[in-house]
Structure 1
């Protein structure tokens, strides 16, 4: 049974958030004022779970059934809506979540499933489709910004290829990558993950004035070269270089500098790469970056729990809960959650049945994604699986429908057309948005 959505946060709650920010620094107040601006464009954050998370141990649990596993359910702030005991922070914010329990796709391979979920298309065809991040960042971009429109934080190795590609949209809409520098801290470590973009600072002895003179000379020579040798490859190289130069601007580089945050704030997100990645996502959204993707499990395939499922999922769930719940709380405190849509997803789910190695295997037939924040009617579960979790019995949702719903939530028409190199019009999504989960 679907759970009816709770009433949305209204004007008084936003006002309360503004008043509560009065005791904080000036930045949250400024961000809150920006979030209240009706002309402010929307942002999207994808929380990508590399390896395929188990729905049965997270958001679609089966207590009392042989497939149920070791974890207990927990109550949330929405009566009747329950999920894993390891989501204590998210349980307090369930009124902002729409649990999509009816996902069903056809790709059970990591690479193929990753491409499918990012593009809405099955891999292997003649056309290189853009990722949803490229499509939405193009639709939502701010031309005056020194920051990229699309940022991927700590992407999985499976995402460094065609799944993150701008496809036929071209390199202008490629993702800028933020990576982990050094070895990520292990469990229990007091160290903090170091995330950043390399080569953003000027070389020793080169000040801004001298750098600007160098760039002016490069631009003049590059324009002459392009005039004599027009080609896609030359234009792509120039576009990539210009994007990198824009990120070297002090205002842009500072967005990735987590040393500007207090230790207390950084620790509230979690010390690992995912928590610190969520903090970077918040800083980028504050600066109007349209699309950010943060990966959990990117050092390998963390959620690929064929063996020892339960200890791994418990650890990942706690890391997820801390980073995600803090991200939503801080966005709401700054008045930005109403204009920021969050999508939690992986490439597929995992088998409800537990294998002989205490693990769960690949399972695209019936699994879960979650939408949250701006444009989403939270406090509900849409879709239903049978008592064993083996098949979808209500609200079956395909990837094109999910992407269409995500588009609607951020204010973009999923039927928006981009043109391939052959001048063929391609819609962002051919699916149908699910009105029941849209605010």
Structure 2
């Protein structure tokens, strides 16, 4: 027992030394150098536009046509690429954006469409398919890391719970959920409440229990659990142990600090936007900086059956500063070339405007956007008709997008995992082909 205590004391001393070094500024310089290291593992930030964004008013406008509505398009930093007037900051970064304008899917129901684009398939009997974040986490995680390999900020899981979980990969690849179910739509949050929403709950020790005492208790639990599981091997026991170990690592002060935005420059926080989505994007940068492979941040409110144009304008007022600042921040820290940024929802909206000045569900022709690491920006791929109702050039399906994202992240999309029914399942369905035009 004495040996174990001595080892933990040595580790605590080492951790203390690391903290003192980081205060000196050395850690920041090291992080920037690590970001530029070609051997650095890649990360992905998914900006999830919940509800189905009107991509016809964002990325593929139809000026001069009745379906186009009042939104205007503007030039970007990439010659020939034009996007919405409500995204001026992103337009200045147009050379970083690859807009896929020819998405065509067949699911117009929120739940089924969400499941499809997040898992790459539709529900199939007893098979519990994992969400994209879990698949990436499994391939890119660092076994020695204290932070979880997958973090989800403000997910809206009500209509498709299974689309957000690890499925047959198991709980070790489940997301750490922050601000669960909290709305990130504009006008519903701000100020100190955002910091409280982004705080990971239940990570403090019980009152009166010191860190050394907590370490001793965890060590005792580990000894007892090892004996128990040795006699009772199986998934349930392994999952229980994995969850406790992950929670214990997350409780370390240096680990929880990743979720504390109070030390960030106020001007940087303002640039992202003092709302849940903006600060969630800032948190994503902090987590990527610390090696987390997959972070998703949800912006809710895109189900614009009524008053679509005012709603899109307001939502863009949140999306534009947050996303553009994330790109610049990652670039300044040497992390953009190793970080893929994807922006999508479950489908688009109808080109035809309804009597409530809204747009309804539409999956036949819509857009997603990719940027950052592994992506050749400054272009639009595919084309829709002048009225926006159909894809006329380079149709792209969900498996194609997921295969492209895997390729950009250095993941073999043809690799197989063993499912819960004993059947090997590819990371991406065999129908998926990477979109070569957008890959750097």
- Distance of 2:411 and 2:246 partners within structure 1: 24
The residue number in structure 1 matching 2:248 is 245
More helix per residue: 1 or 2?
Answer: 2
Q: 1:185–1:271: 8 Å Cα contact kept in structure 2?
A: no
The residue number in structure 2 matching 1:342 is 341
The residue number in structure 1 matching 2:83 is 83
- Distance of 2:185 and 2:348 partners within structure 1: 27
Residues 1:252 and 1:380: Cα distance change in structure 2 (over 3 Å): same
SS state of the match for residue 400, structure 1? helix
Instruction: Provide, for residues 43-77 of structure 1, a one-character-per-residue CA deviation record: whole Å limited to 9, x for no partner.
Output: 01100010000011100000000011111111111
Instruction: Provide, for residues 158-187 of structure 1, a one-character-per-residue CA deviation record: whole Å limited to 9, x for no partner.
Output: 477211111111111111111179997963
SS state of the match for residue 370, structure 2? strand
Q: What are the ranges of 5 or more consecutive residues in structure 1 without an aligned counterpart?
A: 1-24
- Distance of 1:127 and 1:309 partners within structure 2: 37
- Distance of 2:81 and 2:328 partners within structure 1: 20
Report the Cα offset of residue 224 of structure 1.
2.4
Instruction: Provide, for residues 234-283 of structure 1, a one-character-per-residue CA deviation record: whole Å limited to 9, x for no partner.
Output: 32222222211111112211111111212221111001110000000000
Report the Cα offset of residue 306 of structure 1.
0.4
User: TM-score w.r.t. structure 2 length?
Assistant: 0.90
1:204 aligns with 2:203: no
The residue number in structure 2 matching 1:387 is 386
1:29 aligns with 2:29: yes
Identify which range, 342-351 or 251-260, moves more after superposition. Answer: 251-260
- Distance of 1:286 and 1:307 partners within structure 2: 39
1:263 aligns with 2:266: yes
SS state of the match for residue 381, structure 1? strand
Q: 1:28–1:334: 8 Å Cα contact kept in structure 2?
A: no
Residues 1:58 and 1:427: Cα distance change in structure 2 (over 3 Å): same
Task: Give runs of aligned pairs for residues 63-82 of structure 1, distance below 5 A.
Answer: 63-82=63-82
Residues 1:80 and 1:183: Cα distance change in structure 2 (over 3 Å): closer
Task: Give runs of aligned pairs for residues 291-306 of structure 1, distance below 5 A.
Answer: 291-297=294-300, 302-306=301-305
Task: Give runs of aligned pairs for residues 228-243 of structure 1, distance below 5 A.
Answer: 228-243=231-246
Residues 1:184 and 1:357: Cα distance change in structure 2 (over 3 Å): closer
SS state of the match for residue 100, structure 1? strand
Report the Cα offset of residue 78 of structure 1.
1.0
SS state of the match for residue 101, structure 2? strand
Instruction: Provide, for residues 187-236 of structure 1, a one-character-per-residue CA deviation record: whole Å limited to 9, x for no partner.
Output: 39862522121012222222210110110111122222223333422322
SS state of the match for residue 67, structure 1? helix
Q: 1:181–1:196: 8 Å Cα contact kept in structure 2?
A: no
The residue number in structure 1 matching 2:19 is none
- Distance of 2:250 and 2:109 partners within structure 1: 35
The residue number in structure 1 matching 2:9 is none
1:56 aligns with 2:59: no
Residues 1:186 and 1:346: Cα distance change in structure 2 (over 3 Å): closer
Match 1:214 to one of 196, 217, 222: 217
- Distance of 1:70 and 1:225 partners within structure 2: 66
Task: Give runs of aligned pairs for residues 8-23 of structure 1, distance below 5 A.
Answer: none
- Distance of 1:26 and 1:191 partners within structure 2: 31
- Distance of 2:158 and 2:415 partners within structure 1: 27
Residues 1:76 and 1:182: Cα distance change in structure 2 (over 3 Å): closer
1:187 aligns with 2:190: no
Q: 2:250–2:256: 8 Å Cα contact kept in structure 1?
A: yes
The residue number in structure 2 matching 1:4 is none
The residue number in structure 2 matching 1:316 is 315
The residue number in structure 2 matching 1:401 is 400
Identify which range, 414-423 or 404-413, moves more after superposition. Answer: 414-423
Residues 1:166 and 1:190: Cα distance change in structure 2 (over 3 Å): closer
User: TM-score w.r.t. structure 1 length?
Assistant: 0.90
The residue number in structure 2 matching 1:145 is 145
The residue number in structure 2 matching 1:162 is 162
1:286 aligns with 2:289: yes
Q: What are the ranges of 5 or more consecutive residues in structure 2 without an aligned counterpart?
A: 1-24
Report the Cα offset of residue 425 of structure 1.
1.8
Task: Give runs of aligned pairs for residues 358-377 of structure 1, distance below 5 A.
Answer: 358-377=357-376
Q: 1:99–1:380: 8 Å Cα contact kept in structure 2?
A: yes
Q: 2:104–2:397: 8 Å Cα contact kept in structure 1?
A: yes
Give the length in aligned residue pairs: 411
- Distance of 1:354 and 1:326 partners within structure 2: 32
The residue number in structure 1 matching 2:4 is none
Instruction: Provide, for residues 273-296 of structure 1, a one-character-per-residue CA deviation record: whole Å limited to 9, x for no partner.
Output: 100000000000000110101100
